[in-house]
């Protein structure tokens, strides 16, 4: 008995009736809704906050409930947050995953194709924590970044001291400790006498005053003191180790 053949592909059923999608850009966002809901199903919107609220209004008028967008750089963040605040179910999609889905027509825009995939439930959203967790994570990432900056400026301070042949790091365990910061602040203030600088030794320091004095006989150079001053001033405004400023 001959096998039955079927022509074409099986019909896909829409699972997200109120699906929409946005092609995220740096200066303009392209948004797409169901063609049955609007005369012009694909529209462009600016990136200003007012534009994003107009986008949300348009989605509301078109009966949109769920929005898919590609996680492009950081440009998606304001769009995501405003749409989420307006009550939409928003998912982030990996751009490479969406492009690898076969069947796209060449004349279909990115936003319309993304909306079509989303309406059929073919997109998998990336992980996005709840708003409270996202806020906490943003604070922690910012703090981590600033701590890294602080570490870099401490290295710049040590480099400036080395260029003046002030071997402070050999006589103190940490140049941002009590002894180290007292001496560095004195150098920045204009003190160059190693006998005076050695008197800033903290009682808990393991090195003797004589050893510290010998390490602080250096080659005074204005440009190195300038670099030391700048790093010290910048360090005052960064979190991390308490440098006593």
Alpha carbon separation from 172 to 164, 199, 202, 241 (Å, rounded): 17, 14, 10, 16
Which of 12-16, 34-38, 86-90, 203-207 is the least confident region?
12-16
The predicted-structure confidence for 102-159, as pLDDT tens digits, reads as follows 666 554 688 999 999 999 988 887 777 777 888 898 899 998 998 889 999 999 999 9
Task: Please provide the size of the chain in residues.
Answer: 245
0.85 exceeded by the pTM? Answer: no
214 membership: H or E segment, kind and range:
helix 209-215
As beta bridge partners, residue 31 has 22, 43
Tokens of 89: 């179910």
| Fold annotation for 19-128 | Nucleotidyltransferase; domain 5 (3.30.420)
DSSP code per residue over 72-124: -TTTHHHHHHHHHHTT-EEEEE-HHHHHTSS---TTS-HHHHHHHHHHTT---
Alpha carbon separation from 76 to 96, 158, 225, 232 (Å, rounded): 16, 41, 44, 37
> Do 55 and 62 form a contact (C-beta atoms < 8 A)?
no
Q: Delimit the CATH 3.30.420.10 region(s) of the chain.
A: 19-128
Alpha carbon separation from 184 to 153, 216, 241 (Å, rounded): 13, 11, 16
Confidence at residue 245, expressed as pLDDT on a 0 to 100 scale: 44
Q: State the first-to-last Cα distance of the chain, in angstroms, to the nearest integer.
A: 91
Confidence at residue 140, expressed as pLDDT on a 0 to 100 scale: 92
Calpha distance 21→201 (Å, rounded): 65
């Amino acid at each position: 008995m001959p096998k039955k053949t079927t022509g074409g592909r099986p019909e896909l059923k829409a699972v997200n009736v109120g699906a929409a999608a946005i092609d995220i850009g740096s200066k303009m966002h392209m948004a797409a809704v169901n063609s049955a809901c609007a005369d012009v199903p694909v529209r462009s919107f600016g990136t200003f906050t007012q534009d994003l609220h107009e986008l949300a209004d348009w989605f509301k008028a078109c009966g949109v409930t769920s929005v898919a967008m590609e996680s492009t750089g950081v440009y998606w963040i304001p769009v995501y947050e405003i749409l989420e605040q307006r009550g939409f179910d928003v998912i982030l999609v990996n751009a490479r995953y969406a492009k690898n889905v076969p069947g796209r027509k060449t004349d279909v825009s990115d936003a319309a194709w993304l909306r079509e995939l989303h309406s059929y439930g073919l997109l998998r959203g990336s992980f996005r924590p709840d708003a409270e967790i996202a806020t906490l994570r943003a604070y922690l990432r910012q703090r981590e970044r600033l701590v890294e900056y602080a570490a870099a400026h401490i290295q710049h301070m040590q480099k400036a001291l080395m260029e003046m042949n002030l071997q402070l790091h050999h006589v103190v365990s940490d140049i941002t400790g009590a002894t180290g910061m007292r001496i560095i602040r004195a150098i920045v203030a204009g003190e160059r006498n190693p006998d005076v600088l050695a008197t800033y030794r903290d009682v808990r320091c393991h090195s003797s005053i004589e050893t510290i004095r010998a390490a602080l006989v250096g080659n005074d150079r204005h440009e190195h003191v300038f670099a030391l001053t700048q790093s010290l001033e910048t360090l005052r405004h960064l979190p991390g180790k308490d440098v006593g400023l």
